C-alpha cells in the first residue's frame, strides 16, 4: 500500500506535468492536493484492512469470529478456575456450623483473586474441618492458584477460624485469543469434517465451552469404536463436560458406531529453570514473568501434544525479562505423551543462575 507521501508526490507530479509548473505548498491548489491525498490514503488503508478481513490468515477480532462461524467454530470464552476450599477451626464445636453457598475467600493481598463456594456445607458436631467445592469469582487464568495459597476469609462463616485449599485451583483460562482461534480455523481447512472421520468428532467436541482440546483415537474394541479424549486449559476436562459431550455424540454418531468420551489422562510435568535476569531487573520480577510464561505454555497444550523443551525455552525468552535461561532435570528433555494423555504443569521452580 502506498504511503501518504507517495500518494501526494504522485499527485503533485501529475499536476506539474499537466499544468507546466509545480503547485506551491501555500497555494490553494497545493493545499487541496494535500487534503485530497490524505483522503485517498485513508480510503486505501480502509480497503487494505477490509481485504485482510476476508481471509482467516489475516482477519482480526470480530471479523475473525465471523470467518470461524462459517465453519461452525466459536471463540472459547474465559473459564473460571475450580477447586476445593477446606474450612477449619482448632477445636470442635458442640453445634453444627453452616457454611453458606457463596462464601468468599481470597489469595493474600489487596489484589488477590477471590473464590466462591458453589455449595452449602456443614461443619459437623465434633469435626474440625470440612471441604467445599469452589470456583474463582472471575473467569480467567489469574484464578489458577497453587495448593495452600487461598488463606484469606472475606466472608467469615460463624465458628470458622481459617481456610485453605489443599489442592490447586485449575482450569482457569482467558478468553481465546486471535492466534489460537486462527490456528483452530486453519486446522479445520486441513482436516475437513465429513460427518464420520476424526475431524468431525474433534470439531464437534471443541464446540463445547468446557473443551480446550480433544483427540480422537480408534478404540481397542475394533472397527466402529471411537474414543474421544477431552482436555481443559492446563487440566483434564471435568465430569460435567464429559457428560455433555457424550450426550451430544450419542445423538450425532452414525449407525453402528460406538463413541466413548473420557477426560484425558494427565501427565504431571515438573519444570525447573535457571535464569539470568536482564540488566536492571530484579530476580523476583523476572521470576514472576518466567513462571507466568511456563504456566501459559502448558495451558496451551492439547491432548496428545508433546512437551518440547525448545518451545518452552522460546516461551521463556519471549518474556523479555531474561538474558539467558536453562531448563534443568527432566524439563531439559522433550516429554512425549500418548494420544489420550495431556501434559500438565506439576510445579515450576525458578532459580537464579550465574551470569
Q: Residues 104, 137: contact at Cβ < 8 Å? A: yes
* pLDDT class of 246 with cuts at 50, 70, 90: very high
Q: Any idea how long the chain is?
A: 355
What beta strand segments (E) does 9-90 contain? 82-88
pLDDT of residue 122: 93
Residue 253 has pLDDT above 80, yes or no: no
pLDDT of residue 256: 77
pLDDT of residue 192: 64
Which CATH code is given to the segment(s) 191-263? 3.30.300
Domain residue ranges of the chain, discontinuous segments joined by +: 4-52, 82-164, 191-263, 266-352
Mean pLDDT of the chain: 89
Residue 143 has pLDDT above 60, yes or no: yes
When mean pLDDT is compared across 85-89, 90-94, 222-226, 318-322, the lowest value belongs to 222-226
Residue 229 has pLDDT above 70, yes or no: yes
* pLDDT class of 131 with cuts at 50, 70, 90: very high
Amino acid at each position: 500500500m502506498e504511503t501518504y507521501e507517495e500518494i501526494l508526490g504522485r499527485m503533485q507530479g501529475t499536476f506539474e506535468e499537466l499544468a507546466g509548473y509545480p503547485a506551491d505548498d501555500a497555494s490553494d491548489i497545493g493545499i487541496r492536493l494535500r487534503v485530497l491525498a490524505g483522503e485517498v490514503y485513508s480510503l486505501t488503508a480502509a480497503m487494505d484492512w477490509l481485504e485482510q478481513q476476508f481471509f482467516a490468515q489475516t482477519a482480526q477480532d470480530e471479523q475473525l469470529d465471523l470467518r470461524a462461524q462459517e465453519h461452525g467454530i466459536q471463540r472459547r470464552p474465559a473459564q473460571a478456575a475450580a477447586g476445593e476450599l477446606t474450612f477449619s477451626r482448632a477445636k470442635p464445636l458442640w453445634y453444627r456450623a453452616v457454611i453458606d453457598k457463596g462464601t468468599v475467600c481470597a489469595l493474600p493481598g489487596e489484589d488477590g483473586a477471590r473464590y466462591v463456594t458453589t455449595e452449602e456445607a456443614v461443619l459437623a458436631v465434633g469435626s474440625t474441618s470440612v471441604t467445599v467445592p469452589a470456583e474463582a469469582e472471575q473467569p480467567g487464568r489469574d484464578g489458577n492458584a497453587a495448593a495452600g495459597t487461598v488463606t484469606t476469609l472475606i466472608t467469615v462463616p460463624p465458628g470458622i477460624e481459617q481456610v485453605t485449599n489443599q489442592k490447586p485451583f485449575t482450569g482457569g483460562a482467558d478468553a481465546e485469543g486471535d492466534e489460537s482461534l486462527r490456528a483452530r480455523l486453519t486446522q479445520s481447512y486441513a482436516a475437513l469434517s465429513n460427518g464420520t472421520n476424526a475431524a468431525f468428532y474433534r470439531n464437534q467436541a471443541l464446540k463445547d465451552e468446557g473443551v480446550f482440546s480433544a483427540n480422537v483415537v480408534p478404540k481397542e474394541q475394533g472397527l466402529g469404536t471411537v474414543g474421544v479424549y477431552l482436555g481443559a486449559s492446563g487440566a483434564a476436562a471435568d465430569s460435567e463436560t464429559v457428560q455433555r459431550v457424550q450426550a451430544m455424540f450419542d445423538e450425532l454418531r452414525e449407525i453402528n458406531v460406538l463413541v466413548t468420551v473420557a477426560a484425558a489422562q494427565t501427565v504431571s510435568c515438573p519444570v525447573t529453570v535457571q535464569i539470568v535476569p536482564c540488566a536492571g531487573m530484579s530476580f523476583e520480577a523476572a521470576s514472576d514473568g518466567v513462571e507466568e510464561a511456563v504456566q501459559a505454555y502448558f495451558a496451551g497444550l492439547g491432548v496428545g501434544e508433546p512437551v518440547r523443551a525448545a518451545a518452552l525455552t522460546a516461551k521463556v525468552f519471549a518474556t523479555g525479562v531474561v538474558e539467558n535461561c536453562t531448563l534443568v532435570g527432566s524439563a531439559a528433555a522433550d516429554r512425549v505423551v500418548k494420544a489420550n494423555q495431556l501434559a500438565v504443569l506439576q510445579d515450576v521452580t525458578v532459580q537464579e543462575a550465574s551470569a
